[in-house]
Structure 1
Amino acid sequence: MAGVKQPDPARRSERSRQAILQAARELVSEVGYAKVSVEAIAARAGVGKQTIYRWWRSKGAVVFDSFLALSESDQGVTLPDTGDIEADLKTVMRATVAEFADPAFEAPIRALNLEIVADPELAAQYREKLAGPVDEAKKARLRSAQQAGQLAPDADLDLALELLYAPLYQRWLLRSGPLTPQYADALVDLALKALRP
């Protein structure tokens, strides 16, 4: 018996976890959040429903983690810093616009927003695990621009982020216009008019 290799439960668990996250993303994209159930996620992932409930308390929590997994990085969140705040912000905003326009990201993001509105605990997790770290990285880049004299030294960086991102979010949320690189550039140009020294 000493030569018989036992299965590694940690590896099996991680494989199941990844299958569940992928199944949740696929189902949200295919049928929409409202029609997704924990049972459907379990069936697609090839696991029992109890396996999902062992790790997540609700469908919304699974969808959140499936979205978070798309954004995970071993190095954390950093923004480009070429020394030119306008060029760097345009790069970031164009990437954000492209992400929001990509159906693979768009469906889970919409689903996540629906859950956050109805679930304060999930909203707190979202702020802690995703929005907070991303906002801190953005503010670090803006702070660097302030130190270089490219932004007003007294500019409120939280408000600066709202100035940049709120119009994009509203356009996406209400589907009120196209999300294009030109739109991203226009947001940066307008925000920098308000933020420059």
Structure 2
Amino acid sequence: MTDNWKGWQIVLASASPRRKELLEQIGIEPKICPSKKEESAETQNPGELVMELARAKAEDIASACPEGTMVIGADTVVALDGRVMGKPADEQEAFRMLASLSGKTHQVYTGVALVLCLGEQKFHGSCFYEETQVEVYPMKPEEIRSYIATGEPMDKAGAYGIQGSFAAWIKGIRGDYTNVVGLPLGRLYHEMNHLVFPGEEEQEADIK
């Protein structure tokens, strides 16, 4: 593993251990610099919301990074029937979230912002989001309480972690599994390549 990806120092503007593990999965060992910027956005459209928050985090950290750094900012929310869910404030909110997801299909949105630090306060970047559909088996109230008692839901959007014990309640997904965990790895890797080497993938496609 390396913290120097194709000549760029990778910085993750997130304290999420899951996002760090996902990057390590594709051979990137990021420097962890969580953004302390207060999360606020003008929109409640889930896709626009996660991009706006991801961009704010990435730009916050990039402003203090040296030339040759690529900053990755990310934000994940769950949406059901137009209602956006972030992390639960307490166990009561976690219960309400999980009860509303029980037996239904919801959407998980992760926004990602990439910022290249070019020196002299010059930056170049891109922003995108991915959506994944997740269907949940019906849950009984006592099953929800038992899951909450594990502590797993409390730091996760929608009050669950698909990579943890909540996997027992996942009926199916449509889209990128890693997007639900916290970073859409396939899309992220190709966006990173495109940002650093614009046009390279198109040239490879032409050769083939």
TM category, shorter: under 0.3
The structure showing larger relative contact order (alpha-carbon pairs under 8 Å, at least 6 residues apart) is: 1
Report the structure number with the largest CA radius of gyration: 1
What is the TM-score normalised by the length of structure 1? 0.26
Q: Which has the higher helix share?
A: 1
In the superposition, the TM-score normalised over structure 2's length comes to 0.25
